């Protein structure tokens, strides 16, 4: 008999529709990655946040990391983590 481990147990959640503002090229990369992984953008963001909150990298497979780099090049996305402290809006 097969038993469920913690990672296989289904967790009922309540999702809400929200409007967020996000840097345009970042959103394009996230959408491209979600499409590549065949998941929704919301599922991708939830996974990234849950990993980040535990201090873990959400992506470890070399194939996925390479795909992220490829998508970033397509959209001319050249920001690093430090850039988040320097974003401003305007022309």
- Dihedral angle of Cα 41, 47, 50, 51, to the nearest 10 degrees: -130
Q: How many domains does the chain have?
A: 1
Q: Answer whether residue 88 is part of any domain.
A: no
pLDDT tens column, 36-80:
999 999 999 999 999 999 999 999 999 999 999 999 999 999 999
Instruction: Please state, in angstroms and rounded to a whole number, the distance separating the CA atoms of residues 62 and 40.
Output: 21
**Parent domain of 34:** 24-81
Query: What DSSP character marks residue 82?
Result: G
* In the predicted structure, residue 90 carries a pLDDT above the cut 90: no
Query: What DSSP character marks residue 13?
Result: -
Q: Answer whether residue 2 is part of any domain.
A: no
- Closest CA relative to residue 47, chosen from 74, 89, 37: 37
Q: Answer whether residue 7 is part of any domain.
A: no
Query: For residue 77, what are the contacts with CB-CB under 8 A and spacing of at least 6?
Result: 25, 26, 28, 29, 71
Query: What pLDDT, on a 0 to 100 scale, did the predictor assign at position 5?
Result: 62
């Amino acid at each position: 008999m097969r038993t469920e481990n913690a990672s296989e147990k289904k967790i009922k959640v309540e999702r809400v529709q929200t409007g967020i503002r996000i840097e345009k090229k970042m959103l394009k990369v996230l959408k491209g990655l979600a499409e590549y992984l065949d998941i929704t953008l919301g599922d991708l963001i939830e996974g990234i946040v849950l990993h980040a909150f535990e201090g873990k990298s959400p992506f470890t497979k070399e194939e996925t990391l390479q795909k992220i780099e490829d998508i970033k090049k397509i959209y001319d996305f050249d920001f690093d983590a430090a850039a988040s402290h320097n974003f401003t809006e305007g022309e």
